[in-house]
Amino acid sequence: MDYLKNKFDVIVVGAGHAGCEAALACAKLGVKVLLCTLNVDNIALQPCNPAVGGPAKSTLVREIDALGGVMGEVTDATYLQMKVLNSSKGPAVRALRAQSDKAEYTRYMRNLIESNDNIYLKQCCITELLTENGKITGAVDEFGIQYSARAVILTTGTSLEGRIFVGLRSYSAGRLGEKAAIGLSASLHKLGIVTKKLKTGTPARVDKRTIDYSKMTIQPGDEELSFFSFKPNRPIRKTCPCYLTRTTEETHAIIRANLDKSPMYQGLIEGVGPRYCPSIEDKIVRFASNPSHHIFIEPEGLGTYETYIQGFSTSLPADVQEKMIRSLPGLENAHIVKPAYAVEYDYVPAVQTTHSLMSKTVNGLFFGGQINGTSGYEEAAAQGLIAGINAFNYLNGSEMLELSRSSSYTGTLIDDLVTKDIQDPYRMLTSRSEYRLLLRQDNADERLTPIGHKIGLIDDEQFERFNNKQRLIQDEKNRLDGLKISANEETNTILAKYGQHLDRGIRASELLKRPDISYKIIQELDESTRELNIPKEVYEQIEVIVKYDGYIKRQQEQVDQAGKLEKFKIPEDIDYSKIEHISSETKEKLAKIQPKTLAQAARIGGVKPADISILMVMLDRNSVARK
């Protein structure tokens, strides 16, 4: 009953997407967790778009699931629609996106948290961190109550010293309706940890009953459902569509006429905003020649009339927002339930943490999510999971889990954060990975489930299911290699429907290599394939492996090649200031980031390839100066 003495193993600060994954990972691994959050009714809240997944992000969700995290399960249990984006494009960019029921998502996650006996949930604001001899020992809340723990994970989102802007008015808040977390930044500064400012924004929500959908284009979800989690028992739910409208000449004119009322354009916000999610005023200024922008109208849940206006985030004043929204076709009579706003907040540049997400200066202090300079629920959840796993490893003196760039988007994301001095909110994009054909959403389990099982987050039952699936993929691929499709009349009648023809017999796997031939067509052509009734997730992976065989092998060779630099370890005690013949900019960057390998050093922005060559020679000769 250590909780009676406020004694825990781990304190997780924040029950957002990162905090929930961190707390559940630690708790499932068997340690006692205090989960503090500003409002227990806002657990895993989606303060921006009611959606999970999409390009690159869907791969993160699948990776979280493959490692034993929960985001995939919660999304599958609470979707309003599922859609595979880029389904006609290559497998590296195919992405599942779920429209979420926001309230149900929160409820489902809260239930997961509350049904775990190792988690103690508490509504409070952590204002101070406690340390002894460079190690974390606990935290203090706003009422002065002290909690002790050997590890603390900070997942504070947009709350640290948060300030909300609606036009030129601003007030202290982390997000609409929730106070800011005041005090913790100052405590971090005392520990020598630097914070900087970022900003993000969200659009208004309008009342569904005041929208004329007949003027918009309907955007239904997929009829054949796909899911995020690799686990079985996928719920079939009532779905609902989204709609598409566009900005008009009038919208652009209203925005241009009111730019002087924008806190961004008046310089009231110093934090940098998300480059890939600009506000509508940014879009209109930056892409002035574009006469119209797409605006998606997305439901927030089955039990609410609140509706999200995607693509219309703004920090212009509330009265201007009314005019802007009512200039959109179908929204002429819209009633605004919640205004759009921007929020500026403190983050901790992640160059101050290692790949394990532990602070370089305070042992046992971990960071995950938006506090590391990212933006997005999926990015946050992936980091939260890794921070949680590593807090557990730290407590047990076990080796830290540091995922490589070639293993996952999660590894790529963390490597980018800790290596590159990121200046604007970081969002995962497929283009950030040099191995994107290997790191697909369909094979996340193949890449990470053995790791999740070894850690203890994937149970034996799920691991057996995973092994059976891998076996089935291999067996079916081998069978297709041996299966002959004859070039007879029956075959060519079927193939003609797809604009295909066979002059002579061919192996099924050879036929499947053709761009227009799917596994379903092989089923149509061959009775034995039909009878096997191979599940979708298995045959989809076979299609990718067969069709992209050459590309996949080439990318694997690149991984092996890069592995050589990755194996070139850099000792921790190098004195970069004493290394001759390399530029002072490189010295400064290397000293700040302290890369662990030559490959990581080469990825640091501003480090010159020639300097890396010099460093390599010196490391090889063991002639670098040590501290």
Ligand X SMILES: Cc1cc2nc3c(=O)[nH]c(=O)nc-3n(C[C@H](O)[C@H](O)[C@H](O)COP(=O)(O)OP(=O)(O)OC[C@H]3O[C@@H](n4cnc5c(N)ncnc54)[C@H](O)[C@@H]3O)c2cc1C
Is 391 among the residues that bind ligand X (CB under 6 A)? no
Residue with Cβ nearer ligand X (153 or 511):
153
Residue with Cβ nearer ligand X (109 or 534):
109
Backbone angles phi, psi at 590, to 5 degrees: -65, -40
Residue 539 and residue 476 in contact, taking contact as beta carbons nearer than 8 Å = yes
Site string for ligand X, 262-281 (x = CB under 6 A): ------------x--x----
DSSP 36-50: EES-GGGTT--SS-S
Site string for ligand X, 39-68 (x = CB under 6 A): x--x----xx--------------------
Three-state secondary structure of 379-411:
HHHHHHHHHHHHHHHHHHCCCCCCCCCCCCHHH
| Candidate ranges 59-67, 369-377, 457-465, 498-506; the one touching ligand X (CB under 6 A) | 369-377
Number of residues that bind ligand X (CB under 6 A): 36
**Token pair of 338 as six digits:** 């919640």
| Candidate ranges 7-15, 85-93, 220-228, 570-578; the one touching ligand X (CB under 6 A) | 7-15
Residue with Cβ nearer ligand X (105 or 435):
105
Q: Cα-atom radius of gyration of the chain, to the nearest Å?
A: 26
Residue 201 and residue 311 in contact, taking contact as beta carbons nearer than 8 Å = no
The residue count of the chain comes to: 627
Compute CA 553 distance to the chain's CA centroid, rounded to the nearest angstrom.
27
- How many helices (H) does the chain have, and how many strands (E)? 21, 23
Site string for ligand X, 183-202 (x = CB under 6 A): -x---------------xxx
Footprint (CB under 6 A) of ligand X, residues 331-350: 343
Residue with Cβ nearer ligand X (42 or 170):
42
Q: Contact with ligand X (CB under 6 A): which of 156, 185, 251, 408?
A: 156
Is 410 among the residues that bind ligand X (CB under 6 A)? no
Residue with Cβ nearer ligand X (413 or 615):
413
Cα 61 to Cα 162: distance, rounded to the nearest angstrom: 27
Site string for ligand X, 158-177 (x = CB under 6 A): xx---------------x--
Residue 61 and residue 72 in contact, taking contact as beta carbons nearer than 8 Å = yes
CA-nearest of 271, 274, 270, 262 to 321 is 262
DSSP 572-598: TTB-GGG-TTS-HHHHHHHHHH--SBH
Residue 19 and residue 155 in contact, taking contact as beta carbons nearer than 8 Å = yes
276: helix, coil or strand? Answer: coil
Query: Least separation, in Å, of the C-beta of 349 and ligand X?
Result: 15
Residue with Cβ nearer ligand X (125 or 336):
125
Residue with Cβ nearer ligand X (91 or 201):
201
**Token pair of 78 as six digits:** 């609470």
Residue 380 and residue 414 in contact, taking contact as beta carbons nearer than 8 Å = no
Footprint (CB under 6 A) of ligand X, residues 537-556: none
Query: Least separation, in Å, of the C-beta of 355 and ligand X?
Result: 18
Residue with Cβ nearer ligand X (180 or 216):
180
Site string for ligand X, 111-150 (x = CB under 6 A): --------------xx------------------------
Is 102 among the residues that bind ligand X (CB under 6 A)? no
| Candidate ranges 73-81, 292-300, 375-383, 501-509; the one touching ligand X (CB under 6 A) | 375-383
163: helix, coil or strand? Answer: strand
Q: Which residues pair with 260 in a beta bridge?
A: none
Is 157 among the residues that bind ligand X (CB under 6 A)? yes
Strand positions, DSSP E, 329-461: 336-338, 341-347, 365-367
Compute CA 58 distance to the chain's CA centroid, rounded to the nearest angstrom.
8
Is 110 among the residues that bind ligand X (CB under 6 A)? no
Query: Least separation, in Å, of the C-beta of 240 and ligand X?
Result: 22
Site string for ligand X, 428-467 (x = CB under 6 A): ----------------------------------------
| Candidate ranges 62-70, 374-382, 450-458, 505-513; the one touching ligand X (CB under 6 A) | 374-382
Cα 307 to Cα 301: distance, rounded to the nearest angstrom: 8
Cα 592 to Cα 419: distance, rounded to the nearest angstrom: 10
Footprint (CB under 6 A) of ligand X, residues 201-240: 201-202
Cα-based angle 623, 624, 627 (whole degrees, multiple of 5): 130
Is 37 among the residues that bind ligand X (CB under 6 A)? yes
Cα 284 to Cα 282: distance, rounded to the nearest angstrom: 5
Residues lying near ligand X in the complex (CB under 6 A): 13-19, 36-39, 42, 47-48, 125-126, 155-159, 175, 181, 184, 200-202, 274, 277, 343, 369-370, 375-377, 380
